[in-house]
Amino acid sequence: MLSLVVISFVLVSIAPLANAAGKGANLLEWDPSSRDGGWTTWAPRQEISPEMKAEGKTLVTRGRGLDYCSGAWRREVGGIRPGDVLDLRVVARVSVGVDVLESVMPRLVWLGDFGPDVVPVYATGFREAAGGTWEITGQFAAPKGAAGARVELHLRWAPRATITWEEMSLTRGAEKPHRKVRVATIYWRNKGETSVEKNLAAFMALVDEAGAKGSDVILLSEHFKTVGAGTDTALFAEEVPGGPLFAAMSEKAKRYNTYIIYGDFVREKPYISNAAVIVDRKGGLAGIYRKVQLTAEESLERRPGGSVPVFDLDFGRAGILICHDTTFPELPRILGVKGAEIVFVPIWGGEVETMRTRAFENACWWVTAGFDVPSMVVDPAGKVVAGTWKDRGTGVAWYEIDLDERFPVDWLGDWKNAVWKQRRPATYGPLCGGERP
C-alpha cells in the first residue's frame, strides 16, 4: 500500500463561474436547492459502480466489495475562459488500506471546442493529515478552446474503500510566476594532439563565454580535462573541494553568479570515482554525483556510486547522470520519482534517440554535454531544442528552460501530469526484486 506516499490530489469542484462572486469566492459552495448539493453520480457500467450517496454536506463513495469498481461524483461549471486559473482544494477522509495513488483519482475534464477527444488533467500532490484525512490542492489553467469544465471525484479498484469527500472549494487564482532557468552546455574537442593544459584553456574560455551571457547553469562533459590527452586517471584525479580544478571552477562560478556542473575523476583515498561536481553561485560545493553504471573496464579500477540523489538548487530540483548511466532506464526513473525537473548529463558518447527517450518517458528536461554525442537541451516531450557539436554551433548552446511549461500530448493531455498519475508502481515488483518474473 502507498500509505506513506506523498501525493497531491487536485479536486476541482466547480460551480458556474458566471454565478461566482469576486475573486476568492468558493465556486463549489453546496447548493441546497439541488439534489446532493449539485453533484451527480456516474459509472461506466452499473455492475461495477461503487455505492455513492450524500451524507449531510459530504459525498461518500464505497467500494461495495468489487475488486475493479469504478465510479465518480461529477459537477460541471460553465463560464470558463481560456487562460482562467482555478485554485482547487479538497479534504477527503480515506479508509485504511487503500492504495491512494491508484484508487483515489480526482480529475478535471475541460469542456469546449476540442473535437471528439477530450483528455483529463489529474491532481498531482497529496498531503496526509491525521486520521486518514488528505488535503488535496492544485491549480489548473484553462487551455485554448475551454468554455467549461467537469470535476470528477473518482474511486476505482478498491473493493473495501470508503472515501468521504468533506470539503470542496474552487476559487479564481493567479497563475504563479513561471520558473525560468538559462542553461548553457559546452562542446569542445581538439582535432589533433592535446594535453590537459590545452584542454583546460579551451574549456575555460568557453565557460567565460557562457558566463558572460548570463547563464544560470553551465554544463561541461565527462572528465573533460583529459579528453584526447591519453593520461593516467590516478595522476590527474583530484580531491573535491581541495583540488585545483575545483578552485578554478569556484572562481568562475562566483564571477558569473552561475552554477557550474563538470565531470572529473574525484579522489577519495584510496578510491577514485568518475564523478560530476556541482559548484554553486558563490563558489561552494553544492554536491557530487558518482557514476553508478560503470563500463566493464571502468569497474576494474573505479569506485561506483551507490545512490542517485536529487539536488535542490535555487531554480528547481536537478539530477545528474553520467554517460553509461543513461543506457539503463532505472536511474532516470529514480530521478523522476524523486522529483527531478532537469537532468544534467556529462557524457562521452551515446545515442541522441536514447537521450530523447529518457527525457520523454520521465517528462523532464535533459541537458547533455558530450564528445561523441551532441551537447544539447531536450524538452520533456523529447524534442531537441538547442545544441552544439563538431561543426555545428560555436561550442556553447543556450536555452531558457521554463520549468512550469506544459507539454500537451495527443490522447493523453498534459504529459507530465498524465505520465506520473497513470503509472502503477504497485505492479512493478520485479524491478525492485520484490518478485521474480
pLDDT tens digits for range 93-128: 999 889 887 899 888 888 888 765 567 888 877 888
Closest-CA residue to 126 (of 136, 117, 116, 118): 136
State residue 344's pLDDT score: 98
pLDDT in tens, 52-92: 999 999 999 999 999 999 999 999 888 888 888 888 888 99
Which amino acid belongs to residue 401? I
Asked if pLDDT for residue 374 goes beyond 80, the answer is yes
- What is the average pLDDT across 195-212? 97
Out of 94-108, 186-200, 257-271, pick the least confident: 94-108
Q: Which residue has the higher pLDDT, 124 or 275?
A: 275
Q: Return mean pLDDT, the chain.
A: 89
CA–CA distances in Å: residue 206 to residues 118, 276, 312, 320: 47, 18, 26, 21
Cα 365 from Cα 318, distance rounded (Å):
10
What's the pTM value of the predicted model, to 2 decimals? 0.86
CB 275 within 8 A of CB 289: yes
Structural domains for the chain: 17-172 (2.60.120.260), 180-403 (3.60.110.10)
Asked whether residue 437 carries a pLDDT value surpassing 50, the answer given is no
Query: Residues 204-217: what's their mean pLDDT?
Result: 97
Give the pLDDT confidence of 390-430 residue by residue, as tens digits.
989 999 999 999 999 988 877 777 888 888 888 887 788 77
Neighbours of 162 (CB within 10 A): 18
Reply yes or no on whether the pLDDT at 227 is more than 50: yes
Residue pair 402/315 in contact by the 8 Å Cβ criterion: no
Q: Is the pLDDT of residue 12 over 70?
A: no
